[in-house]
Amino acid sequence: MLKQDQQISMFGETIEQMEKSSKMFGPVNDAMYAMQILSDAQEVLERGNPELCRQFINKAKHFLSKINVRERNAMLVQS
């Protein structure tokens, strides 16, 4: 697991904070939440903030990677 300062540099917040934030929107699945984050990334890029855009993209990748892990685990269970 990444150290807290690495997480903040990468995402702008800790993984724990990201997970907690995603729950505030109710039962939104990880793919939908990642798409919302990517929309935010587009907006801040348009406004000229590439650093914040990078952090948003990293957040989206985090949530998409969770989907990948779940799918791989489901395939292993089926085998």
Write down the pLDDT at residue 27: 61
**What does the block give as tokens for 29?**
């699945």
**What does the block give as tokens for 70?**
């779940």
Q: Where are the domains of the chain?
A: 4-78
**pTM of the predicted model, to two decimals?**
0.82
Quote the CA–CA distance of 4 and 7 in Å, as a whole number. 5
pLDDT digits (tens, 9 = 90+) for 25-70: 666 688 889 999 999 999 999 999 999 999 999 999 999 998 878 7
Q: How far apart are the first and last CA of the chain?
A: 28
DSSP 49: -
Quote the CA–CA distance of 38 and 53 in Å, as a whole number. 9
